[in-house]
Structure 1
Amino acid sequence: MKDFKNKVAAITGAGSGMGRSLAVLLAARGCHVALSDINEKGLAETVKLLDGTGVKVTSQKLDVADKDAVFAWADKVAGDHGKVNLIFNNAGVALGSVVDGGGYDDFEWIMNINFWGVVHGTKAFLPYLKDAGDGHIINTSSLFGLIAVPSQSAYNASKFAVRGFTEALREELDLQKVGVSATSVHPGGIKTNIAKAARMDQSISKIGMDASSTAKFEKLFRTTADEAAAQMLRAVEKNQRRLLIGADAKVLDLVVRIFPSGYQKLIAMGSSRMK
C-alpha cells in the first residue's frame, strides 16, 4: 500500500497516544478513519482534532476484549464506510507483577486486551480487507515481545503472543496472495500514558521493586507518539514484516540476537541497579 488517500483505516485505542497520532496522520493524508476506544472522553477529543480534515470520521466506544462487540464494530465500519483497508490493533494495557504474587484476574485482564483484542480485531476485519483487495493488518506488540524483563511476565506473555500470532498470519497471507499483508510493531519506550496507567501489584516488592520503578523507566523514554505513528505508516508503505520503534528497541533486539539466553543475566543486573 503506497498511498493512503481514500483508503479506510480502523484504529483501536484511538483515544490517546499512538492511536490518536495515527488518526491525525492518516486523516492528513486523505484516509478515512473509524476510531474506537474504551475511553469515550479521549475518543471524543481525537474526533474533534479531525474536524475540518475533509475525511469521513466515525467513532465507537469499544472494549477490544469483547469479541462480539469487536465483530459488530467491524460490520458497522464496513457498512458506514463501504470498505476497510487497514486495521491498527493498537489498544493495550500494562501490568507490573511477579509470577508468584499476581492474581489470575489481572493476568486474564491483560491477556484479554493485549492478545485477544488483537485476535478479535484481526479475525473481524480480515474478511473485509480481503474484499477490498488492498489491505494491511498492523498489530502492536512491544519491545517486550522480543525481550523478557522481571515484573513483566504477564505483559511479556501477551506481547510475545501478539508477535507469534502476527508473524504466522503474515506467512499465511503471503501464501494466500489475497492482497492483504501484516506487520508486527515493537515500540520501545514511547511517551504515552500506558506506563502511568499500568496496574502495579505489590508483589513486585519481592524482587526489590516498587511503583516508583516505572517512573524511573519512563525517564528513559525518548520517542513521541507522533514519531512512532509516522514510522508505522512508513512500515505499511514498505510492507515491513517487523517494525522496531526507538533506539532502545533496536539496541535490545540486537542484544537478544547476540545473547539469546545470556541476555537474561544482563537484564537482571540492570534491573537491580534501577531499584
Structure 2
Amino acid sequence: MSDRIFITGGASGLGREIALRWARTGARVCIGDLNDARGAQVEAEIRQAGGTGLYVHCDVTRSEDLQAVAQRLVGEWGGIDIVVNNAGVATAGTVNAEPIEQWQWILNINLLGVVRGCQAFAPLLRAQGRGHIVNIASMAGLVHPPGMGSYNASKAAVVAFSETLFLELANDNVGVTVVCPSFFQTNLAESLRTTDPKAAAGVAKLLSKGRITAAGVADSVFNAVQANQFLVLPHADDRKTHLMKRWLPLRTYLNKMRHLTRKSFPGGRTAAAAKEA
C-alpha cells in the first residue's frame, strides 16, 4: 500500500524534492505552501513522477491552516502516514545587529511552525496507531557558528523538540526523524533576512557550493523513514564534526571553533583588530 505524505514548504527546494522522491514510489503526496503558482507546478510534477498530487495553500504560522489540512486528508485519503515539517526561513547577523523582530519572525516559522504541524497531526497518527513525523532542522541546530544566533537557536530548538516528541510518541508506534543538513543547493537564500549585505552574499555562496543536492538530502530522508532513524546527518563532514563536538573536551572544542570561524562570521573582528582594541 502506498504512503500518504504531507509536506510543508513543499513547492520548492528540499520540500519539492521530498515530494518527488515519494511520488516515484506511487505515493499520495500533499504539499502545503504559500506560493500557489509553484504549488500548482509541483502538483503536476508529482503526477508526472507517478504519484497522486495535491497542493493546498498553507501558512505554518496559522494553526487553523494545518488543522484544516489534517481534516481534509482524513476526509479524502482516510488518514496520513508521514508528515514532513519542512517549511523554514533563514536569518543572519550578530547579537547586536539582529533586531528582536527578526528573532520573533524566524522562531514563529522555524520552531513554532514545526510545533503547530505536530499539534495538528500527532493526535491523528496516535489514533491510527502508526505513522512517522519528519522535522527538518539543520546542522546549525547541533553546531552553532557565530553571526547566526537566531537561526542557530531556532534549529537547535527543533532538534530538542524532536527528541521530546520521539519519547512522547515511542509507545504509540509513531516514529520521529530530525534531519540536520549543512549547506546544500536550495532556494533558502530567498527568505534570508539580515542587516548585513555581506552575510547575504556569504550565505548565497555557501548554498551554491554545497556538495550535496536537495535530491540527495531527500534520498537521506526517505531512507531514514524506512529505517525509523532518529537523527539524519546527510553530509559526511558534518558527521565528523558532530562526533568532534560530542567527544572533545568542551574548552578544546570551543577553541577550535573560535579558530575556524574568527575570520568568517558577519561583523567579526580580525585577530589584529582585537589586539588593537
TM > 0.5 fold call: yes
* Percent identity of equivalent pairs: 33
Pairing 1:147–2:136 present:
no
8 A contact 1:216–1:274 mirrored in 2: no
8 A contact 1:213–1:274 mirrored in 2: no
Q: Quote the Cα distance in structure 2 between the aligned partners of 1:52 and 1:195.
A: 28
Q: Quote the Cα distance in structure 1 between the aligned partners of 2:189 and 2:256.
A: 23
SS of the aligned residue for 2:60 comes to coil
SS of the aligned residue for 2:98 comes to coil
SS of the aligned residue for 1:191 comes to coil
Task: Within 5 Å, give how 1:1-275 maps onto structure 2.
Answer: 5-53=1-49, 55-174=51-170, 177-202=171-196, 210-259=199-248, 260-274=250-264
Q: Quote the Cα distance in structure 1 between the aligned partners of 2:230 and 2:50.
A: 31
SS of the aligned residue for 2:2 comes to coil
Structure 2 unaligned spans of 5+:
266-277
Aligned CA-pair RMSD: 1.9
Q: Deviations over 1:207-257 (max 9, x none)?
A: xx6433224433541111111011111101111111111123212212211
Q: Give the total of aligned pairs.
A: 264
Are residues 128 and 165 of structure 1, via their aligned partners in 2, closer, same or farther at CA, if it must alter by over 3 Å? same
Are residues 82 and 92 of structure 1, via their aligned partners in 2, closer, same or farther at CA, if it must alter by over 3 Å? same
2:268 aligned residue: none
8 A contact 1:85–1:132 mirrored in 2: no
Q: Quote the Cα distance in structure 2 between the aligned partners of 1:73 and 1:149.
A: 36
Q: Quote the Cα distance in structure 1 between the aligned partners of 2:47 and 2:206.
A: 36
Counterpart of 2:192, as a letter, is A
Structure 1 unaligned spans of 5+:
none
SS of the aligned residue for 1:245 comes to coil
Structure with greater helix share of residues? 2
Q: Quote the Cα distance in structure 1 between the aligned partners of 2:205 and 2:31.
A: 32
8 A contact 1:188–1:248 mirrored in 2: no
SS of the aligned residue for 1:51 comes to helix
Are residues 237 and 129 of structure 1, via their aligned partners in 2, closer, same or farther at CA, if it must alter by over 3 Å? same
Are residues 7 and 51 of structure 1, via their aligned partners in 2, closer, same or farther at CA, if it must alter by over 3 Å? closer
Structure 1 outlier segments of 4+, above 4 Å: none
* TM-score of the aligned structures, taking structure 1 as reference length: 0.89
- How far off is 1:53 after superposition? 4.7
SS of the aligned residue for 1:73 comes to helix
Greater shift after overlay, 114-123 or 32-41?
A: 32-41
Counterpart of 2:260, as a letter, is G
Greater shift after overlay, 113-122 or 263-272?
A: 263-272
Counterpart of 1:274, as a letter, is S
SS of the aligned residue for 1:184 comes to strand
* TM-score of the aligned structures, taking structure 2 as reference length: 0.89
- How far off is 1:77 after superposition? 2.0
